[in-house]
Amino acid sequence: MAKIVLENLGHSYLANPNGEHDYALKPVNLTWQDGKTYALLGPSGCGKTTMLNIISGLVSPSHGRLLFDGQDVTNIPTSERNIAQVFQFPVIYSTKTVRQNLAFPLECRGVAPARIRQRVAEVASLLDLDYALDMPARKLSADQKQLISLGRGLVREDVSAILLDEPLTVIDPQMKFMLRRKLREINRQTGVTMILVTHDQSEAMSFADEIVVMKDGLLQQSGTPEELFSRPQNDFVGYFIGSPPMNMINLEARQGVLATDALSLTHQAPTESSTLLYQMGIRPEHISLVDDTVANIGVGIIKKIEHLGVDGIVTLELAANVLIKAKTRKHTEMTVGTTMGINVRHNDALLYRDGILAP
C-alpha cells in the first residue's frame, strides 16, 4: 500500500506542446492517502485515464513528479511499481481455470507453491469465488470475470495500489451495485488503496472516499462526495454532480444587492466589475415544496412531474419564465398546474461569480 503524491504533474501527447490547450492533463497537485478509495470523475477526454496511466507507468509525464511513499517513481517502469490495474474489459486467461488465473501472478514471481495455494484460497474467499475455483474462466459471467481480474491484483501481497479503469462499464446495473459494494468491502478488509476511473457520478459517489472531478484535462475540484454535493466549487461540478444538476438562477445588481424576479433571494452586491455573471445555485434536493401561503422565498407553477419510484422530479416555472427542478418524495400528492410555495435554507443558496463559488 502507498501514499501517492502528484507534484505539478502534466502531460501532452504532442512532441512540442504550445500552451495549455495542447495538454491532455494540465499540471496538477494531488495527494492520495494510503488505504483509501478514490475516483477520477469526468466526461470522456477529460484526462482521467491519462492520469491513471501515468500512475501505473504506462505513460511517462511531460513534466512533474510522481511519488509513492515519498519515493520518486516518475521514471521507474511499470513492473517495478507494484501496481495492479483492472481494465474496462476483463483481462484473464480463458483457457485456464479460476484457480490458475489467480495463481499466475505469484507463479511468475517464483512464490512457493504452498504460499500460492494459501493466497489463492484467501482471495477466492474474499471475492466469493470459492465455488468456481476449478471452473474454466471462459464459462463465467462478465462480472465474475471482472472479479478474477481484480483477484489477480489482490493475490499479490506487495501491491501499492489497485487502479480501476472503468471496470464496471460492461456490467449490468444490478451487478454494478454488487461489485461496488464488494470493492468497498475489499478496501476495508485489505487496506489497499483503490483508484477508480469513471464517467458515472453515481458510481463515483457510492465508491470513493474522495472524488477528483476533471474537465478538459484540468482538475475542477477534489473532495468527499458530501463536499462536492453540498458546495460545488464551480458550475461544472454543480452540473456534473447530482441528478438532476444544480439549479442556476441569474442575478442582477439592484440598489446595492444582487436579486432576481424569480425568487426573493438576495446577496449584497459586490464592488467589483458589474460585467461579471452572478448566479444563485440551489440543489433540487434542497428545495422544499410547501403550500404557497407559507413559502419563504417564492412560488412556482408545476409544469412537469417525473415519477422515479420513491423520489420524483418536479419542474416549476417561476416569475420571469425561470424554470427550476425540485427533488421530492411528495410528488405523488401534486398535480401539474398547481401553484406551490418554495422553501430553501439560506446556507443552501450558493452564490456563483462567473461560474466560481463566491467566498
Residues of the chain with CATH 2.40.50.140: 254-357
Show the cell assigned to 53. Answer: 496511466
Q: Which regions of the chain carry the CATH code 3.40.50.300? A: 4-240
Region 267-288: what's the mean pLDDT?
85
Question: Is residue 274 pLDDT above 70, yes or no?
Answer: no
CATH topology of domain 254-357: OB fold (Dihydrolipoamide Acetyltransferase, E2P) (2.40.50)
Rounded distance between C-alpha atoms, residue 132 and residue 152, angstroms? 15
User: Residues 207-245: pLDDT tens digits?
Assistant: 999 999 999 999 999 999 999 999 999 999 999 999 999
Q: What is the pLDDT of residue 153?
A: 83
Of 223 and 359, more confident: 223
Class of domain 4-240: alpha beta
pLDDT at 172 over 70: yes
Q: For residue 346, how many C-alpha atoms fall within 13 Å in the half-sphere facing its CB?
A: 2
Dig out the grid coordinates for 192 from the structure.
Answer: 489497499
pLDDT of residue 16: 87
Q: What pLDDT does residue 337 have?
A: 97
Model pLDDT for residues 316-327, shown as the tens digit of each residue: 999 989 999 999
- Reply yes or no on whether the pLDDT at 272 is more than 70: no
| pLDDT exceeds 80 at position 297 | yes
For the chain, the average pLDDT equals 91
Q: What does the alpha-carbon distance between residue 349 and residue 283 come to, in Å, rounded to a whole number?
A: 8
pLDDT at 271: 67
Least confident range of 83-87, 114-118, 277-281, 344-348: 83-87
Question: What is Dmax (Cα atoms) for the chain?
Answer: 80
DSSP string, 68-129: ETTEE-TTS-GGGTTEEEE-SS----TTSBHHHHHHHHHHHTT--HHHHHHHHHHHHHHTT-
Residue 69 clears pLDDT 80, i.e. is over it: yes
Single out the residue of 41, 65, 70, 43 nearest to residue 55, CA to CA. Answer: 65
Residue 156's pLDDT is: 86
| Cβ burial 216-233 (10 Å sphere, 16+ → b, else e) | bbbbbbbbebebbbbbbb
pLDDT, tens digit, 9 for 90 and up, residues 110-156: 999 999 999 999 999 988 899 999 999 999 888 888 889 888 888 88
Band of pLDDT at residue 1, cut at 50, 70 and 90: low
Q: Average pLDDT, stretch 261-284?
A: 83
Determine what percent of the chain is predicted with pLDDT higher than 90.
65
Q: What average pLDDT does this structure show over 334-341?
A: 96
pLDDT(307) > 90:
yes
